[in-house]
Structure 1
Amino acid sequence: MTSKEIISNLNVLVANFNKEEFIYDLLLAYGSSKTSVLRLKKGDFNMSDTEGETLYKNKLFYAHAATDLHLRVDAFAKEERILKQKPRFIIVTDHQLIVAKDLKTNVNIDIPLLELPSYYDFFLPLSGAEVYRSKNDNKADREASYQLARLYDILVQDNPDYAKESHLLNLFLSRLLFCFFAEDTDIFDKVGIFTDTLAQHTQANGADVHEFLNELFTKLDTENGDFPKHLQNFPYVNGGLFRDSIKAPIFTTKSRRILLECGNLDWSEINPDIFGSMIQAVADPEERSDLGMHYTSVPNIKKLIEPLFLNALNKEFEKQHNSISGLNKLIARLGSIKFFDPACGSGNFLIITYKEIRLLEIEVIKRIAELSIQQGLTLPMQFTSIQLSQFYGIEIKDFAHEMAILSLWLAEHQMNKVFDDRLEGLGQSKPILPLKQAGNIACGNATRMSWEKVCPRGANDEIYILGNPPYLGSRNQDSNQKDDMQLVFGRDFKSLDYVTAWFYKGAKYIEGYDAQLAFVATNSICQGLAVALTWPRILNKNIEISFAHQSFKWTNNARGNAGVTVINVGLRNKSNQPKYLFTNITKEVKNINGYLLDAADSYIDELPLPLSKFRPMMKGNAAIDDGNFLFSTEEQAKAFKIKYPEQAYLVREFIGSQELINSYKRYCLWLKDAKPTDILNNPEIQLRVENVKRFRNRSPKTQTRKYADKPLLFMEDRQPDSDYLMIPVVSSENREYIPIGFLTKDVIANYSSFILPNATALEFGIIHSKMHMVWVSAVGGKLKTDYRYSAKLCYNTFPFPETTAKQKTLINEYVYDIMDERAKFPEKTMAWLYNPDTMPSGLRQAHKALDLAIEQIYRLAPFENDAERLAYLFKLYEEMTKKDTLFAKVKKTRGKKV
């Protein structure tokens, strides 16, 4: 059955609830056959002899209870007679609430019966299906976060005064998480000691749970002391986690039960790299919308740390593969490198880095052992040289700061176990308890703090800065963030993305030192106008881009996957070492510029007029009318013309990007040439005009209010008196060419497009060429990864050589070929014609012929690839702007305004 069918069935069930039939209706809702359910009702399949109970082998156990639903579920889940039949679910209800336990996943629900359709996926196994769990999930991942979220919410509800102190509640939650992890991973001597002791020494109503936890936390922070016998087996932890005296919140029966359920999960395989951010979401209402989205993508983190330092360290390992002294030097190096994340969040990047460095150290030690055996040498017991004190971070949120420290502790313990297991007697890790310093993680605002104080840099220090700083466009920055930007940049910062503060401070930090950095960032800082605004501030005579990943989706396997489009950019002091550009392939390049291209360090700025003496291009018309000039549907436009035939001439086709690409029909009222009598004699037009006037008068913008006195007109009227060429503002990245088309002057151009009046076949051919597309892709802005066309930035800056009459004639012929090929498919949309999977072969060939003709205007030798095309275009752009003093001056003036 589909999920929609199940939800529909459950809606019917709760709407027509029947106490006697409930459990049978539930089975039917999930697709059990009517025959099987009928036999169950008769008793054939019911394995329970107790009246009022239903025990369906391999399916469920069901009972009605008036009180103590949670206690009854727990009791039934332990009864041998029930477990013998291997039911998947234990279900108890009082016909108002449903309390159930999934015996396979050990997960409980407690919901009002009326909300059953919203929780349909819990009982999904009754239909024969399982809820999808991604490969990155482990035994204490998403379900743990949901359980903890439930616990957090109940504690906040039951402890309103305590909830006001968010730091205390966050710290309390951190301590619980440590105890869950410690009892499942041998940090505590006995498996399950925390949960078992809690269950045995607290009341079922939860009244004394806070007293138990207060005393336990004191014990964990006390090296010697007099404590009750049931707490004496708990060790001294230290490390600061239990140092501060806090009072545990008050618990109830329900919150105690959830606490025990959390403890019954298996935390032994938890990944600290997802742990911090996942739990941070529990305590942060702004991030609660989907707890699953906070799973770290380890492959994406490795995309950044591998070219930054890991590849070089592995290469050094290979180089010293047969040298014991060289390998020992590598181990010493691993134990001295500093890793610094100035926006560390809950520590994901630092944790992955720590684990990878520890794994490399293990391989180095194993190789030393092999060489020692070959040479008859005695290898002493090995200990790790890598310490958490090598890891530095800054985080502004105090709970994330606490989680980073805790997660590093957990990562150290996990890697100690890996160290002992893989070295098989050659190495031995030191006991984790009492806890030592867990990294140098500072709590504060990285834009305002001194990075040198957080992570001191010495002349001989090897330092790598890494992470995923916050990125916010200038319009999305609040007043505090704008103050941050002003503090970092002084003046001229208003159009910069927030993430540029980290690149700028990072570049200043590494300059002149044995240090490098790499950050994840929004791809917008390497596109369009942002390039000229951002990178001249960062790249200078000493700093260069060492590697870059061009735009890719930062995705993971979790539910609610954000799929943000990002880039990776690495910076270093200028060096003769190779530079690498990563796309679908890895390529060694000579230079990486601010567009993340293998090209010269040019910065393309807007130009008011075309550099190549093309005809001027402009935006389409903007009504600014609150929709009053528009018809919602084609039928509405037809109805108007039928009702008012004398004013039918005022209804005009209204075309923009989406209409051109997808052949949508859209219409508007164009009153610019309307006769006064046609306005006066048409009540619908009068009403629309009055609404436009009222809308503009209420606008907070002065310019809009001025146009309230011209309510018949589009506020931005650029409609040409001639036929024109239309270019969409936004177009899919999947297309090799942006779809463009000629339109007649009677068709009103929407603001979502650019228009070129009196355009010729030559301009059509240039704009529709591969060379222009390469330029647009490189220097234009992007909407995620889609093309975003700009007249001033893409069209006006495009460098194009002078053409001869013969070349123009040839281009015209190829353009006509393209139009002829399009005309063969009159029923098809532009979207279909230019979809790579459906593009007709004839149209594709016509475009290839045009591309070759355009490229031969630049040079006779064919270009090998897009990188070569771009390099040529950047070089020509530099020559043309230097040659033409007008544009050179314009560019310089723009630079001063920024």
Structure 2
Amino acid sequence: MQPTDFVKKWRDMELGERQAAHSHFNDLCDLLGVTKPLDDDTKGDTYTFEKQTAKDDGRIGFADVWKKGHFAWEYKGPGKDLDAAYRQLQRYKGALGNPPLLIVSDTKTIRVYTDWTNYVTEVHEIALDDLLDAKKREFLKNVFENPSALRPKRSRDELTRDAANDFSGLAQRLRERGHDPHTVAHFVNRLVFCMFAEDVNLLPNKLFQRSMELAVKNPAEAQQNLSDLFRAMSLGGRVGFVAVPHFNGGLFDDDTALPLEKEDVKLLVHAAKLDWSEIDPSIFGTLFERGLDPSKRSQLGAHYTDAEKIMMIVEPVIIEPLTAEWEEVRGKIEAELAKAAKGKGATRTRAMNRAKKLHADFIEKLAGFRVLDPACGSGNFLYLSLKALKDIEQRANSEAEDLGLPRGLPRVGPENVLGIEINPYAAELARVSVWIGDIQWMQKKGFGTSTPILRPLNNIENRDALIEQDEETGEWREAEWPEADVIVGNPPFLGNKRMIGELGEQYVLDVRGAYRELPKTADFVMFWVLRTWKLIRNSEVKYSGLVTTNSIRGQNNRSVLQAAADNQQIFRAYSD
């Protein structure tokens, strides 16, 4: 088929989705010179129309066209909502093997979304008349034959670093003008979340970006514009004629905004044009924190843990045990469903109810599962732990649906992760990272958000994780940690000879007095190790994984490790 013939045929076509989809797709294959589903795969195993899959509510659905390892394609009738079609594909994609391209179209428009893990999503829209262009046709041919040619050039890591660098400069200028560092941090955290919310369509009509663009000529307006926006986000309201949802969560608890100069506003306009929907929470917080407080840079450099190393902790502590448990539960469900298939009447009903209960009990356990990071910094461990729990829950729901059970909606959320952090704006950064990560996951899987959009994260606490003062005696004692199933994290590294100089003599005396089991020569990290080991010993925590340094093997720290090893409570170690 020639391009002019294709365009002429489909320009005036008004058939609905069902009548037109297969014909349009087959004509497109002819136009591009690629194989059609029925020519390439008569069994429908790798390339087919109407690929059966699962919806999020447990019902059976169908992807209009699917090619394994290439794309999932959803058609809509002329004038229908292609954004809704994309959300539908996001719900299907896991059951379709997570193809790298998600495509939605009607007979007038084709929209291609890239969906590679750890890469920024790109959207390519091709109108009907664009198919007269040989380059556009070559692009679409790659969709069928060489999808890797469409892989984005920019990774999420690169985007995140660019965004963090922009805000480092803004934070520094605000501090230099005499604003309190914590006030600056809170203000900049708000700006970050506004840009994220805008790019995931929770904050409508590009309100933030437009407000900054309008203020470039008159920077004095920026403070009032932001104050109006924060006020609306606090309880839900309006900015002009635009309705703004209720966000708050403590991040937008008032309408305070700092005054901005022209260069600040220009920077915000530039930053707002980045795709904040793809920000990577696992590194964003730490990069951002470096920019907020230059005095922390060397410390953060020592403590920063990349996602790969974090997963070396999360895998054995969270993913492996819960996955093994689910596989055991799934086996029991399969056995009950086999009984139901053979039985009749009440026998069949009882077996089906037992299968449903097995699934429901496992999901209930996940909903109540708690992960504690008692030195959470800007939330890297918390975000990746939450994502791991949500992925396990999704797998359990999907596999339960495949076995014939109703598939539930997600119940795991930000309340599943607990944090303690002594630095107030690092604690807030951890909350922002968890909020962003949760919203990203929900949207990528095709689920919506409820209001208020931000639930208060009081489970991420700003306090000392090691000691607290007895109200009656005034003595310092071990600080209470919230109840948790597992503990993960990267406690601060500080050798015993540097503790007094870095932390102050009185604080060090108070900590050592509260933890008399440790020798006075023990390194700072060992206080976290000791506390964690005691919780495991008392069966209050099942598993833990902490990042430490090689120095913990030294004579000054070995007593705690030896005690734990004697009790068979240290089971795995990694080394660079």
TM-score, with normalisation over the residues of structure 2?
0.62
Q: Return the alpha-carbon distance in structure 2 between the equivalents of residues 519 and 357 of structure 1.
A: 18
* Counterpart for residue 571 of structure 2: 547
- Counterpart CA distance in 2 for 1:291 and 1:388 is 24
Residues 161 and 284 of structure 2 are in contact (CA less than 8 Å); yes or no, is this contact kept in structure 1?
Answer: no
**1:484, CA displacement in angstroms?**
4.7
> Retained in 2: the 8 A contact 1:239–1:435?
yes
- Verify: 1:199 aligned to 2:213, yes or no: yes
1:447 aligns with 2:466: yes
Q: Is the 8 A contact 1:281 1:294 kept in 2?
A: no
Q: Is the 8 A contact 1:317 1:364 kept in 2?
A: yes
In 1, the alpha carbon distance for the partners of 2:272 and 2:328 equals: 47
| Greater fraction of residues in helix | 2
Q: Deviations over 1:527-568 (max 9, x none)?
A: 4x23544435x5387x4334222422xxxxxxxxxxxxxxxx
Deviation at 1:344, TM superposition (A): 0.5
Q: What do residues 830-861 of structure 1 show as CA deviations (whole Å, max 9, x unaligned)?
A: xxxxxxxxxxxxxxxxxxxxxxxxxxxxxxxx
Q: Does 1:259 align with 2:273?
A: no
Structure 2 residue matching 1:208: 3-state secondary structure: helix
**Runs (5+) with no aligned partner, structure 2:** 1-151, 334-354, 469-476
Which of 354, 365, 370 lines up with 2:397 in the alignment?
Answer: 365
Give the number of equivalent residue pairs.
390
Relative distance call for 1:547 and 1:140 in structure 2 (3 A) is same
Q: How does 1:310-459 map to 2 (within 5 A)?
A: 310-322=319-331, 323=333, 324-325=355-356, 326-372=358-404, 379=406, 382-420=408-446, 428-431=447-450, 433-438=452-457, 440-449=459-468, 453-455=480-482, 457=483
Distance 2:512 2:540 in 1: 29
The SS at the match of 2:519 is coil
Q: Is the 8 A contact 1:187 1:433 kept in 2?
A: no
**Amino acid of the residue matched to residue 446 of structure 1?**
A
SS in 2 for 1:216: helix
Shift of residue 170 of structure 1? Answer: 0.7
SS of 1:524 mapped into structure 2: helix
Cα contact 2:564–2:570 (8 A) shared by 1: no
Is contact 2:216–2:265 with CA below 8 Å preserved after alignment?
Answer: no
Q: Distance in 2 between matches of 1:327 and 1:546?
A: 31
Q: Counterparts of 2:245 and 2:154 in 1: how far apart (Å)?
A: 35
Corresponding residue for residue 473 of structure 1: 495
SS at match of 1:141: helix
Match of 1:153 in 2: 172
Specify which structure has the bigger relative contact order, considering alpha-carbon pairs within 8 angstroms and separated by 6 or more residues: 2
Q: Secondary structure at the match of 1:221?
A: helix
Mapped contact 1:472–1:498 kept (Cα < 8 A): yes
Per-residue Cα deviation, 1:595-620 (whole angstroms, up to 9, x for no partner):
xxxxxxxxxxxxxxxxxxxxxxxxxx
Residue 239, structure 1, aligned to residue 249, structure 2: yes
Map of 2:231 onto structure 1? 218
Partner of 2:371, secondary structure, is: strand
Which consecutive residues of structure 1, in runs of 5 or more, have no partner in the other structure? 1-132, 421-427, 553-898
The reply on whether 1:521 has 2:548 as its aligned counterpart is yes
Tell me the C-alpha RMSD between the 2 structures. Answer: 2.9
Distance 1:355 1:484, change over 3 A: farther
* 1:50-85 CA distance string (max 9 Å, x none): xxxxxxxxxxxxxxxxxxxxxxxxxxxxxxxxxxxx
The residue type paired with residue 229 of structure 1 is G
Pairwise CA distance, 1:327: 3.3
1:433 is displaced (CA, Å) by: 3.7
Q: Match for 1:204: what amino acid?
A: K
Specify the alignment match of 2:285 in structure 1: 276
Q: Distance in 2 between matches of 1:505 and 1:467?
A: 13
Q: 1:284 to 1:369 in 2, by over 3 A?
A: same
Q: 2:498 and 2:300 mapped to 1: Cα distance? A: 23
- Match for residue 181 of structure 2 among 148, 166, 177: 166
> Deviation string for 1:433-456 (max 9, x for gaps)?
43213360111111114887541x
What is aligned with 1:101?
A: none
| Deviation of 1:242 (Å) | 0.9
Opposite residue 519 of structure 1, the aligned amino acid is L
Compared CA separation, residues 454 and 539, structure 1 to 2 (3 A): closer
Retained in 1: the 8 A contact 2:283–2:307?
no
Partner of 1:503: 529
Give the corresponding residue for 2:12. Answer: none
Q: Deviations over 1:297-350 (max 9, x none)?
A: 222111112212311111122223341443333222111111111000011111
When residues 550 and 370 of structure 1 are mapped into structure 2, their CA distance, relative to the original with a 3 A threshold, is: closer
Structure 1 residue identity aligned to 2:311: K
Aligned letter for 2:195? F
Q: Secondary structure at the match of 2:527?
A: helix
Q: Secondary structure at the match of 2:440?
A: helix
Residue by residue, what CA displacement relative to the aligned partner does 1:335-367 show, whole Å, maximum 9, x if unpaired? 111111100001111110100110111111111
DSSP 3-state at the match of 2:204 = coil
User: Normalising by structure 1, what TM-score?
Assistant: 0.41
The alpha carbon displacement at 1:258 in A equals: 0.8
Residue in structure 2 matching 1:297, options 295, 301, 306: 306
> 1:491 and 1:212, CA in 2 relative to 1: closer, same or farther beyond 3 A?
same
SS in 2 for 1:340: strand
CA shift, 1:228, in A, is: 4.9
Q: 1:234 to 1:152 in 2, by over 3 A?
A: same
Taking the TM superposition and a 5 Å limit, the aligned residue runs for 1:536-575 are 538-539=563-564, 543-552=567-576
Partner Cα separation in structure 2 for residue 296 and residue 303 of structure 1: 11
Contact 1:463 1:514 in 2 (8 A): yes
Q: 1:331 to 1:272 in 2, by over 3 A?
A: same
1:189 paired to 2:204: yes
SS of alignment partner, residue 233 of structure 1: strand
Name the SS for the 1:260 alignment partner: helix
- Residues 138 and 269 of structure 1 are in contact (CA less than 8 Å); yes or no, is this contact kept in structure 2? no
Letter in 1 for 2:284: F
Q: Secondary structure at the match of 1:539?
A: helix
> Contact between 2:375 and 2:420, CA under 8 Å: does it hold in 1?
yes
How many Å separate the matches in 1 of 2:277 and 2:421? 27
Letter in 2 for 1:333: K
For residues 240 and 438 of structure 1, the distance between their equivalents in structure 2, rounded to whole angstroms, comes to 8
Letter of the structure 2 residue corresponding to residue 495 of structure 1: T
